Structure 1
Amino acid sequence: MRTVPVAEAKAHFSELLKAVEAGEEIVITRRGRAVARLCSQRPLTAAEVLAPLWHEPLDIEAPEDRAPEPVAEWDD
């Protein structure tokens, strides 16, 4: 997430909108304090949110099926 002061946001608003359309979130600050956040209208998928955390592709395998285990009865 990029942080941009108000004066810079005013001067480069069109460029900031292009970055937001590309999926970036931008926080606008006044005197060092966050006052607004620019984000895409379309919600991000979980994969898009977590993608920066992955340095390598994940190789995930499903666990092997096991036989069902009996469940103890409940006494209400």
Structure 2
Amino acid sequence: METVTLADAKARLSELVERAASGESVSITRRGKTVAQITPIETPREPVDVERLRALTAAMEPQSEAGADFVRRMRDEDRY
């Protein structure tokens, strides 16, 4: 966990919030003592319905070309 001063936290709040959203925790200090902490919110994940996923993938058409060839063709033919 990173520790930042209150002045740094004020200047970099958007960055610290983004880091918390990606899973990191940040401790904020004032005069050397921890006064606050920014932590990510634990959001429950929905369980995956395995049978529905199998049905979806079974209904998909198989690729006609290898993945590497597809990416190479997209890179060479198209502007991105």
TM-score normalized by structure 2? 0.52
Q: Percent identity?
A: 44
Structure-1 separation of matches of 2:22 and 2:32? 25
**Other structure's SS at 1:14 match:** helix
- Please tell me the root mean square deviation across aligned C-alpha atoms, in Å: 1.6
Q: Equivalent residues in 2 for 1:23-42 (5 A)?
A: 23-42=23-42
Structure-2 separation of matches of 1:22 and 1:32? 26
Amino acid at match of 1:14: S
Structure-1 separation of matches of 2:22 and 2:7? 22
Instruction: Return 5+ residue gaps in structure 2 as ranges.
Output: 44-80
Q: Deviations over 1:18-75 (max 9, x none)?
A: 10011000000000100001001116xxxxxxxxxxxxxxxxxxxxxxxxxxxxxxxx
The number of residues matched between the two structures is 44
**Other structure's SS at 1:7 match:** helix
Question: Which portions of structure 1, spanning 4 or more consecutive aligned residues, are displaced by more than 4 angstroms?
Answer: none
Structure 2 residue 21 is matched with structure 1 residue 21? yes
Structure-1 separation of matches of 2:41 and 2:28? 17
Structure-2 separation of matches of 1:15 and 1:31? 22
Partner of 1:51 in structure 2?
none
**Other structure's SS at 1:35 match:** strand
